[in-house]
């Protein structure tokens, strides 16, 4: 009872006079709760609208009161972060265990500052055990450092020396972990850069992998394993070896089930995503679609990775020819409350995915309003090379071309073909762009054959064979195929059967 009495004394003496949390379950809401409620319902509401709603008028004094109210509500909402529920299995598994360590560290530090060494020591020991179970070496080191201070102040020599030895081991492990993370982050940043930078990273990868394997032997923790594992996946992706990614992810799942990988840290959702990604890039869409359907249940709709996963899910549906399912996935994405928070580049990708999906659907399934929107999209002037749309330049121009073919408008078709010809000459010379280069050569046959299906079948036979036999390419250098080029060519031929452009 003494410890509880001490806690009661500390809380009584140190508590703030102002209520620290919002009363979210109150029968009658105060201004603070009403403010939070109105913002939650309408995130785009303005300060003036809120002032009028809460205070009745937008006077100078009311606006000043509103600023103070907003500051108080923000502080209290930040306090609520201590009480979030992290148990949902669709969230990254490590967060609940990391928050547990942080929570124990925070409480133990407050007790240490208040001079409650006995209870602080117990919480720090709990923190060290929890951190060790989750391979949170940095938190384990922080707890050990605080314990060292407690033992020094209490003149507990033997405990001080013992924790000092543990600290030395932990710091050596942290040194290895930090080096592993630096290598991983260098690779991660490098593969997002321009082609020249990616080639530099690719040349360094063998050395990086060798060093990461050595670090994992020296410090077999989750951090060193994760860095090694992710760089292996990055290496396979850069080389276009998607079967290796499928194998690596399957092996990781097997090791996780055997308990050889820390179950408190390994993000199986990421593993699922990489598996789906590899099936898409490795041209195994039907298998990948089944996996995506299964894995979709493991990702929380509020997760920042939900839309990225669903982009690949949608692409798998399109590549598998499941166009109705693709349309359903689009509708699901639009219903996600976080759609409006996407970055402009992400919104543009979703708009392009939607445009392609509607391109292959029967016309009666696309509303008149939406057909008008597609016409506007098709008429947009697209730069011949836009770095912010890297990988999507061909997809945009091809969509516009097919759209005008369906509209049987000759002049816009010829304009897009000329843009594609210039793009091919300037940007599709690398071996990794063979599929895109071959498909564009097929498209350039359209005016040469006077849009005649019989001539196209004969003259395009060898190119179509080359396209079908083209080896897998690295994602970094390839143009994105929203719908496989073979399927697009079939769509174009079917369009021409209904009528040629005039």
Residue 323's CATH number: 1.25.40
Q: Per-residue pLDDT for 20 more than 90? A: no
**Cβ distance 137 to 173 under 8 Å?**
yes
Give the lowest-confidence range in 138-142, 256-260, 348-352, 374-378: 374-378
> 383 pLDDT exceeds 60?
no
Is pTM beyond 0.85? Reply is: no
What pLDDT is attached to residue 13? Answer: 78
Identify the pLDDT of residue 384: 41
Span 103-119, average pLDDT? 94
- Cα 152 to chain centroid distance, Å, stands at 46
Q: Which of 377, 275, 358 is nearest to 316 (CA)?
A: 275
pLDDT at 478 over 70: no
Residues 47, 16 share a domain: yes
Q: Is the residue at 390 inside a domain? A: yes
pLDDT of residue 380: 60
In whole angstroms, what is the distance from residue 19 CA to residue 202 CA? 56
User: How far is Cα 312 from Cα 292, in angstroms, rounded to an integer?
Assistant: 8
Return the sign of the alpha-carbon dihedral for residues 423, 426, 427, 429.
Answer: positive
CB-based contact 292:312 (threshold 8 Å): yes
Q: If pLDDT is split at 50, 70 and 90, which confidence band does 366 have?
A: low
Listed in sequence order, the residues at least 6 apart from 143 whose beta carbon sits closer than 8 Å to its beta carbon are: 101, 104, 105, 108, 124, 125, 127, 128, 131
Between residues 34 and 191, the one the model is more confident about: 34
> What's the rounded Cα separation, in Å, for the pair 273 and 281?
12
Is residue 18 predicted with pLDDT exceeding 90?
no
386: left (phi over 0), alpha (psi -120 to 50) or beta: beta
Q: Quick one: average pLDDT of 411-433?
A: 83
∠ CA 486-488-491, rounded to 5°: 115
Mean pLDDT, residues 408-434: 84
pLDDT score at 386: 45
**Distance of alpha carbon 375 from its chain centroid, rounded?**
31
Q: Does residue 224 carry a pLDDT above 80?
A: yes
Is 151 a member of any domain? yes
Q: What confidence category does residue 377 fall into, taking pLDDT thresholds of 50, 70 and 90?
A: low
pLDDT of residue 90: 82
User: Which of 132, 155, 178 delimits the end of a domain?
Assistant: 155
pLDDT bucket at 376, cuts 50 / 70 / 90: low
From 380, 412, 438, the end of a domain falls on 380
Same domain (yes/no): 217, 134:
no
Q: Evaluate if residue 466 carries a pLDDT over 60.
A: yes
**Residues 371 and 386 both lie in one domain:** no
Q: Provide the pLDDT for residue 390.
A: 54
**Is residue 160 a part of any domain in this protein?**
no
Contact 187, 231 (CB under 8 A): yes
Question: Which of 60-74, 380-394, 428-442 comes out lowest in average pLDDT?
Answer: 380-394
Q: Residue 304's pLDDT is what? A: 74
- Spatial neighbors of 116 by CB under 8 A, at least 6 apart, are 3, 6, 7, 10
Handedness of CA 298, 301, 304, 305 (dihedral sign): positive
On the question of pLDDT at 397 being above 50, the answer is: yes
Together in a domain, 319 and 434: no
Q: Is the pLDDT of residue 226 over 90?
A: yes
Residue 88, domain member (yes or no): no
The answer to which of 211-220, 350-359, 399-408, 474-483 has the lowest mean pLDDT is 474-483
Domain annotation covers residue 487: yes
Helix (H) or strand (E) holding 90: none
Average pLDDT over residues 455-470: 90
Name the band, by pLDDT with cuts 50, 70 and 90, for residue 456: very high
Q: Is the sign of the CA dihedral 4, 10, 12, 15 positive or negative?
A: negative
Is residue 413 a part of any domain in this protein? Answer: yes
For the cut 80, the answer to whether the pLDDT of residue 203 exceeds it is yes
Average pLDDT (435-453) is: 91
Tell me: pLDDT of 207 over 90: yes
Do residues 259 and 272 both lie within one domain?
A: no
Are residues 205 and 302 both part of a single domain? no
Which residue in this structure is represented by tokens 């179950």?
263
Mark whether 224 and 319 lie in a shared domain. Answer: no
The tokens describing 32, both together, are: 């603070």
Same domain, 494 and 393: yes
- Domain boundary, last residue among 249, 266, 283: 266
Same domain, residue pair 397 and 480: yes
How far apart are alpha carbons 71 and 17 in whole angstroms? 17
User: What distances in angstroms separate CA 83 from CA 39, 78, 80, 470, one per listed residue?
Assistant: 20, 10, 5, 54
Based on the fold, state whether residues 396 and 417 are members of the same structural domain. yes
Confidence class for position 2, pLDDT limits 50, 70, 90: confident
Q: How far apart are CA 400 and CA 313, in angstroms?
A: 24
Instruction: Look at the chain and report how many structural domains it folds into.
Output: 5
In a domain, 425, yes or no: yes
Alpha-carbon distance of 144 to 125, in angstroms, equals 8
- Nearest partner of 206 among 178, 225, 187, judged by Cα: 187
pLDDT of residue 450 exceeding 70: yes
Between CA 112 and CA 382 the distance in angstroms is: 62
| CA 458 distance to own-chain centroid | 44
- Domain annotation covers residue 161: no
321: containing domain: 268-380
Q: What is the mean pLDDT of residues 224-232?
A: 97
* Per-chain mean pLDDT for the chain: 88
Is the pLDDT reported for residue 385 higher than 80? no
pLDDT digits (tens, 9 = 90+) for 122-152: 999 999 999 999 999 999 999 999 999 999 9
C-alpha span between 357 and 352 (Å, rounded) = 9
- The answer to whether residues 390 and 485 belong to one domain is yes
Residues 31 and 141 in one domain: no
- In angstroms, the first-to-last Cα distance of the chain is 91
Tokens of 374: 């597609």
What pLDDT score does 302 carry? 84
Cβ pair 221, 265 in contact under 8 A: no
pLDDT at 305 over 50: yes
Per-residue model confidence as pLDDT tens digits over 337-352? 888 888 888 888 898 9
């Amino acid at each position: 009872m003494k410890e509880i009495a001490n806690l009661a004394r500390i809380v009584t003496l140190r508590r703030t006079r102002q209520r620290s949390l919002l009363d979210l379950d109150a029968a009658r809401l105060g201004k603070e709760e009403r403010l939070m409620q109105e913002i939650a319902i309408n995130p785009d509401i303005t300060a003036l609208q809120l002032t009028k709603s809460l205070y009745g008028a937008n006077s100078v004094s009311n606006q000043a009161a509103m600023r103070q109210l907003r500051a108080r509500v923000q502080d209290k909402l930040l306090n609520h972060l201590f009480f979030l529920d992290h148990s949902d299995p669709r969230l990254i598994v490590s967060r609940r265990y990391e928050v547990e360590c942080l929570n124990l560290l925070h409480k133990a530090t407050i007790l240490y500052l208040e001079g409650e060494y006995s209870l602080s020591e117990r919480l720090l020991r709990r923190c060290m055990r929890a951190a060790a179970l989750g391979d949170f070496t940095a938190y384990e080191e922080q707890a050990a450092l605080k314990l060292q201070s407690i033992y020094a102040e209490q003149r507990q020599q033997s405990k001080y020396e013992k924790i000092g030895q543990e600290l030395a081991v932990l710091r050596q492990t942290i040194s290895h972990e930090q080096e592993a993370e630096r290598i991983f982050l260098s690779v991660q940043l490098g593969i997002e850069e321009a082609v020249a930078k990616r080639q530099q990273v690719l040349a360094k990868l063998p050395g990086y992998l060798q060093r990461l394997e050595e670090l994992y032997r020296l410090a077999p923790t989750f951090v060193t394993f994760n860095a090694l594992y992710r760089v292996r996946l990055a290496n396979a992706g850069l080389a276009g070896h998607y079967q290796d990614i499928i194998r690596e992810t399957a092996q990781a799942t097997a090791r996780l089930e055997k308990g050889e990988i820390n179950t408190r840290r390994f993000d199986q959702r990421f593993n699922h995503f990489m598996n789906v990604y590899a099936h898409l890039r490795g041209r195994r869409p039907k298998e990948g679609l089944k996996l995506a359907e299964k894995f979709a249940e493991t990702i929380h709709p509020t997760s920042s990775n939900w839309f990225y996963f669903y982009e690949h899910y949608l692409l798998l549906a399109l590549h598998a020819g499941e166009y109705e399912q693709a349309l359903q996935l689009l509708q699901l994405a639009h219903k996600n409350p976080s759609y409006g928070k996407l970055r402009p580049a992400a919104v543009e990708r979703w708009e392009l995915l939607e445009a392609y999906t509607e391109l292959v659907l029967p016309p009666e399934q696309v509303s008149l309003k939406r057909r008008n929107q597609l016409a506007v999209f098709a008429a947009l002037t697209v730069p011949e090379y836009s770095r912010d749309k890297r990988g999507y330049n061909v997809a945009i121009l091809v969509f516009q071309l097919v759209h005008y073919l369906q509209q049987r408008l000759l002049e816009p078709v010829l304009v897009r073909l000329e843009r594609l010809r210039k793009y091919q000459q300037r940007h599709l010379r690398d071996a990794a762009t063979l599929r895109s280069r071959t498909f564009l050569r097929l498209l350039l046959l359209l005016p040469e054959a006077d849009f005649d299906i019989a001539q196209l079948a004969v003259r395009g036979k060898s190119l179509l064979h080359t396209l079908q036999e083209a080896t897998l390419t690295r994602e970094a250098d390839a143009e994105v195929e929203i719908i496989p080029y073979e399927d697009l060519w079939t769509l174009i031929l079917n369009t021409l059967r209904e009528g040629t452009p005039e």
